[in-house]
Amino acid sequence: MINSSKVIRKETITTATLEEAWKAWTTAEGVTSFFVPKTNIEPVIGGRYELFSSLRAPRGFQGTEGCKVLALEPLKHLAFEFIAPPQFPNVRRLTTRVDVIFDQVAKGGVVKLDLAHSGFLEGEEWDEFFEFSTWNWDLVLGRFQYRFSGGPIDWNNPYIPHGISARPGRKLRDHISS
């Protein structure tokens, strides 16, 4: 059962034009400048929105393989499927949804993003994925801001925003429930 009260909501304001912010989330060049080192993006509804963060992992375990664009309203709204990383094997079987709303705060280069990550189910592993995702979106949005103030992320030495702690602890899972 989906827990409708479990939605991660984040917002950030950055110095970028609406067009720059939109391209950062909807093009391979943009996404690899702050989100992940490799991606496969087709910015059309039903197109791919695959994010690859673990490039040394076997195919199928590198990121959000198979995820798709769910909604696209240029310069206003992007929604895409999102799956859990491999350390959450039971949760990874189902997709969640990420919505990003773009709003120009000031002409010439101040943009506000509102992000909502929904579709979390009940259970211990889902709770752990929720906690991980809350941490991860702080990291991603911090890197998004940095991308416009300091430049693209160097994936050989990735930027960690001030105030972001180490990854949340994870339980080791030696089985997948049926």
Q: Are 95 and 116 in contact (CB under 8 A)?
A: no
pLDDT single digits (tens) 86-111: 889 999 999 999 999 999 998 889 99
pLDDT single digits (tens) 53-82: 887 877 877 789 999 999 999 999 999 999
Task: Please give the pLDDT value at position 63.
Answer: 84
Query: In the structure, how many helices (H) and strands (E) does the chain have?
Result: 3, 7
Computed over every residue of the chain, the mean pLDDT equals 90
Q: What pTM did the predictor assign?
A: 0.89
User: Is the per-residue pLDDT at 49 higher than 70?
Assistant: yes
Beta-strand relationship, 38-41 and 49-52: antiparallel
Task: Please give the pLDDT value at position 62.
Answer: 77
Residues facing 39 on adjacent strands: 51
What is the set of domains in the chain, with CATH numbers? 8-149 (3.30.530.20)
What does the alpha-carbon distance between residue 130 and residue 86 come to, in Å, rounded to a whole number? 14
User: Is the per-residue pLDDT at 171 higher than 60?
Assistant: no
Instruction: Find all residues with CB under 8 Å of 100, minimum gap 6, and list them.
Output: 25, 77, 78, 79, 113, 114, 115
Q: Are 20 and 154 in contact (CB under 8 A)?
A: no
